[in-house]
């Protein structure tokens, strides 16, 4: 029996649940601050993470705030391409990284690469799924089918403003998990978690048994723990990149920050 990317994602959430904790999913941009360092960072944090969200840089990252925008711009200036990102995934697998890998990118580069080619080559490289913020479920049918054919999950997003029709549509086709955007707006570290987050999570949970992971605006271990009390997964991006930027030893700074998140979730 072939183990698919979707199977590995599901198993990661089940394993976290068995430890009575939310799954931890750090986000980091491939190719930032350079290709070698990004690979070293991702390899180093993999054992402290349940899943990894790796950014494929794009020149117009509409859902991302200043921190992630800067990282993607630097990565592009370094010459990072979609094909090079897939090769970096392959290298991570060759280094022994077994943590499920979600590729976060925008739809234009996928269309330029070719949807069928991207799904096939991502699976071949060792990716497990895709997060595409600007591909709404109403327009995702073709890529959803291609992803499923390759054994990977296309992860759909819901925001606090999503109406019941959108929630029902996403719940009906979700595989792996659903990405809940905790705030209206772009990614970025914020001083506090939404007070109505639990209500949003419960509204979606009433429609599906698929795990629910929350991202956008989670800045500290304490906030990660707070979100982990109501969600099945916690996604941290901008605050993680900020921690790496502040560290003299980038890899060590990455490990210490992710370990602090993991420890907070396990308490």
Active site residue 53: yes
Distance CA 102, CA 99 (A): 10
Q: Which helix (H) or strand (E) holds 236?
A: strand 233-236
d(CA 87, CA 135): 24
Helices 141-149 and 115-125 pack at an angle, to 10 degrees, of 30
Alpha-carbon distance of 97 to 104, in angstroms, equals: 18
CA–CA separation, 198 and 201 (whole Å) = 5
* 64 a catalytic residue: yes
Question: Three-state DSSP class for 54?
Answer: strand
Residue with tokens 């990716």: 127
Query: The tokens of 265 are what?
Result: 């979730």
* Catalytic position from the list 50, 53, 226, 232: 53
| Strand ranges inside 30-95, DSSP E | 52-55
**Catalytic site residue from 64, 128, 144, 232:** 64
Counts for the chain of helices (H) and strands (E), in that order: 12, 9
Catalytic sites, residue numbers: 53, 64
């Amino acid at each position: 029996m072939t183990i698919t990317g979707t199977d590995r994602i599901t198993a990661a959430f089940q394993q976290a649940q068995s430890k009575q904790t939310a799954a931890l999913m750090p986000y980091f941009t491939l190719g930032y601050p350079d290709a070698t360092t990004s690979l070293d960072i991702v390899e180093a944090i993999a054992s402290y993470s349940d899943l990894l969200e790796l950014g494929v840089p794009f020149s117009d990252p509409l859902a991302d705030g200043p921190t992630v925008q800067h990282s993607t711009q630097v990565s592009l200036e370094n010459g990072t391409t979609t094909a090079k990102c897939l090769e970096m995934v392959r290298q991570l697998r060759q280094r022994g990284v077994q943590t499920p890998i979600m590729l976060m990118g925008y739809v234009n580069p996928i269309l330029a690469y070719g949807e069928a080619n991207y799904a096939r080559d991502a699976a071949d490289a060792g990716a497990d799924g895709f997060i595409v913020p600007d591909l709404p479920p109403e327009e995702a049918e073709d890529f959803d089918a291609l992803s499923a054919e390759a054994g990977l999950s296309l992860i759909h997003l819901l925001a606090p403003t999503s109406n019941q029709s959108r929630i029902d549509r996403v719940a009906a086709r979700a595989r792996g998990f659903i990405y809940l955007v905790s705030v209206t707006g772009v990614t970025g570290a914020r001083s506090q978690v939404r007070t109505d987050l639990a209500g949003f999570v419960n509204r979606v949970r009433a429609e599906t048994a698929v795990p629910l992971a929350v991202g956008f605006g989670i800045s500290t271990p304490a906030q990660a723990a707070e979100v982990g009390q109501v969600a099945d997964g916690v996604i941290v991006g901008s605050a993680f990149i900020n921690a790496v930027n502040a560290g003299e030893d980038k890899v060590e700074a990455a490990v210490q920050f992710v370990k602090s998140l993991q420890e907070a979730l396990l308490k």
